Structure 1
Amino acid sequence: MARGDTGCTPRPLKQRALLALLVSKNGQCLSVNELVHCLWDGAPPPTARAALQVYVSKLRKHLGETGCDGGSLSTSLPGYVLHLGENALDLRAFRQLTRGQGIAHPEDRTGLERESGDLQQALALWRGPALADLRDVTALRELGVVLDEAWMAATERKLEIDLLLGRELVALSELRRLALQFPEREKIQGLLMTALYRNGRAAEALAAYSGLRRTLVDRLGMDPGHRLNRLHHAILNRERWLEESKDGLFAPAL
């Protein structure tokens, strides 16, 4: 939750879940009924409201003891509101750094360099999957999926910029790792194919496509999309735009 390793996040699971739910509301009130429903996934025990009061009290004490950038938890009918300092949240900083994502024109090297730097800072804020140990809570699992996608979009854009700037060799090791981790992610596979081809490894690029196609057919019963097929065809025919085009890499971009 907090910027850096400040000890703001409590250790007990229910307190962490409560804190995450309140943070997700970004300074808005979360009612007692909502909190009880979320913390016990719609099946609260008879003692849930009393237990919630205990969690709130302990969390309030924890925030006071750790400082946590001036964070405070206040009662506000019909529930509770978490107030945090302007720079308290990694997520807030991440969103600020990525709000210009995708704006830089492919031929604007200065703009691409600036966007790349912002994305690098944004991605450095992540220390693992969002809410990784809280996804048994349905509301937090759904939020975690949204945050995962935001991380992936920023990662893909950063790697795409690397290729637009001619840094295929730099991007290659990260693309290989991500391609293994996310074998069904077509944009990652397309970026990997492009990086391999531009590094003189056309055979490996074609093998990457074949592996992706097998994965998609076996797991989802579907073929790669039009853009991946277009890229595959271009590699087979060694089309000139693969080396020369800086307008999106994938004619059109993935």
Structure 2
Amino acid sequence: MSSPVRRAILTALLLRTGQPVGMTELSDLLWDSPPESAKANIRSHLTGLRRHLEMATPGLSRRIKTCRGAQSGYEIDASPDEVDLPKFALASRQGRSCLARGDIDGSVTVLEGALALWRGSFGQDLPMTRWFDAHSTGLRNARLDTYEDLFTALVLARRTEMLSYRIETVIAETPYRQRLWELLAAVYCVQGDSAGALSIIKRCRTVFVNDLGLDVPPSVEAMRNAALTWDGDEALRLVARYASHPGVLGSRAS
């Protein structure tokens, strides 16, 4: 499917699964300033999209329904378990719930499954309209929130092998999320490497001061104190606060 507009139409319909998308609304989603030929272009691209879907899987083109009457427009016939986004959102919520109630191992399993649904960044090869840009930003943040939940669970489970590398990879993508720096420092504290933790906190300070003109976040500074006292248990307590449940650590010890 080489046309960005066809991909955008399919994406817009999938993001609104189960809801008709009117022609005027579809025009506004695809173009910040729709051309006069917008409706004709959409009809032409829908014809091409249906043809591509039919070539991919016979009968698939019939999933795109034409709605008439008061709800005129187009709708895609797909259940939530057929689309990655609703599956990701559900798994992310379930993983966060497991974490909050102290089911650390269950949280790791569910959150790993949620993140495995991502095969690349959302929005690639789509028109950079305000609507798609807003969705891209929202989905990117949801993915990063899920990474933070997963890394929190892994630290609390003391499953730290290769964890510093995984966190560094996400920090390289988004260096200003303070929670990631706190978790990275915690990994070194839990492993008994206070020097490594202090080095991470120093890097964090450099990034925040040089790029944002801000001091190191208080949560990262608290992790510094744990590193200075070689207190891995305090590092775990600091991480557990993010899980928003007082029994998180106790459930692991019982």
Length-normalised TM-score, structure 1: 0.84
| CA-to-aligned-CA distance 1:7-61 (integer Å, 9 cap, x gap) | xxx33111001111111112211111111122121x2222221111101222223
8 Å CA contact retained: 2:5, 2:127:
no
How far apart are 1:251 and its partner, in Å?
A: 6.4
8 Å CA contact retained: 1:68, 1:88:
no
Query: Is 2:239 the partner of 1:250?
Result: yes
Which secondary structure state, in structure 1, belongs to the residue aligned with residue 97 of structure 2? coil
Query: Is 2:31 the partner of 1:37?
Result: no
Map of 2:5 onto structure 1: 14
Query: In the comparison of the two structures, how many residue pairs are matched?
Result: 239
Identical residues among aligned pairs (%): 24
Map of 2:115 onto structure 1: 123
Map of 2:165 onto structure 1: 173
Distance 2:58 2:218 in 1: 49
Map of 1:102 onto structure 2: 96
Segment of structure 1 superposing worse, 133-142 or 117-126? 133-142
Distance 2:180 2:148 in 1: 7
Relative to structure 1, the CA distance from residue 240 to residue 60 in structure 2 (aligned partners, 3 Å threshold; closer, same or farther) is: closer
Distance 2:56 2:160 in 1: 44
Map of 2:125 onto structure 1: 133
8 Å CA contact retained: 1:69, 1:84:
no
| CA-to-aligned-CA distance 1:157-210 (integer Å, 9 cap, x gap) | 111111111112241221232233322121111111011122232122112112
Distance 2:189 2:167 in 1: 13
Relative to structure 1, the CA distance from residue 240 to residue 30 in structure 2 (aligned partners, 3 Å threshold; closer, same or farther) is: closer
When the two chains are superposed, the root-mean-square deviation of aligned CA atoms in Å is 2.4
Map of 1:155 onto structure 2: 147
Relative to structure 1, the CA distance from residue 85 to residue 11 in structure 2 (aligned partners, 3 Å threshold; closer, same or farther) is: farther
Distance 1:240 1:209 in 2: 15
| CA-to-aligned-CA distance 1:73-130 (integer Å, 9 cap, x gap) | 112243211111453211122122222132235794xx22122111111111111111
Which secondary structure state, in structure 2, belongs to the residue aligned with residue 141 of structure 1? helix
Distance 2:136 2:234 in 1: 36
Map of 2:76 onto structure 1: 82
User: Which blocks of at least 5 consecutive residues in structure 2 are unaligned?
Assistant: 244-254
Amino acid in structure 2 at the alignment position of 1:91:
L
How far apart are 1:68 and its partner, in Å?
A: 8.5
Map of 1:63 onto structure 2: 53
Distance 2:99 2:128 in 1: 41
Q: How does 1:222-237 map to 2 (within 5 A)?
A: 222-237=214-229
Distance 1:179 1:223 in 2: 18
User: Which blocks of at least 5 consecutive residues in structure 1 are unaligned?
Assistant: 1-9
Relative to structure 1, the CA distance from residue 106 to residue 198 in structure 2 (aligned partners, 3 Å threshold; closer, same or farther) is: farther
Length-normalised TM-score, structure 2: 0.84
